Amino acid sequence: MANIENQKFIAFDISGKNYLSWVLDVKLHLSAKKLRHTIDEDNAASNEERATALIFLRHHIDDGLKYEYLTVENPLELWQNLNDRFENLKAVVLPKALND
């Protein structure tokens, strides 16, 4: 678990400007660590897996977001909260792709 504490990629900026690349990076890294299921609906992740995924997610978000979501103890809930807040940026960044 010591390796999970090293930042693997640029943290998610509170402005949301790197949301799309951050989402891809998180999914890839969680998949590589066999923790991707912790951010999927109706998962059967163990408490240890959830804690490890939550540490990973919190380590890769802006300090302002860490404090805003300080009481969130489930990686799925944090993932959904961030998605609900920033998914609208897809329409700004990828307007042509959404219209195809």
What string of DSSP letters covers 36-90? GGGGSTT----HHHHHHHHHHHHHTB-HHHHHHTTT---HHHHHHHHHHHHTTHH
Q: How many CA atoms lie within 13 A of 11 on its CB side?
A: 18
Q: What is the pLDDT of residue 2?
A: 45
Mean pLDDT of all residues belonging to the chain: 85
In a domain, 13, yes or no: no
In a domain, 37, yes or no: yes
Q: What is the pLDDT of residue 25?
A: 93
Which residue segment(s) compose the domain that 51 sits in?
18-93
Residue 12 DSSP SS3: strand
Q: What is the pLDDT of residue 76?
A: 96
- Pull the structure tokens for residue 15: 């402005």
Q: What is the pLDDT of residue 94?
A: 53
Q: What is the pLDDT of residue 40?
A: 94
Q: What is the pLDDT of residue 1?
A: 42
> What's the total number of domains in the chain?
1
Which parts of the chain sit beneath pLDDT 50?
1-4, 97-98
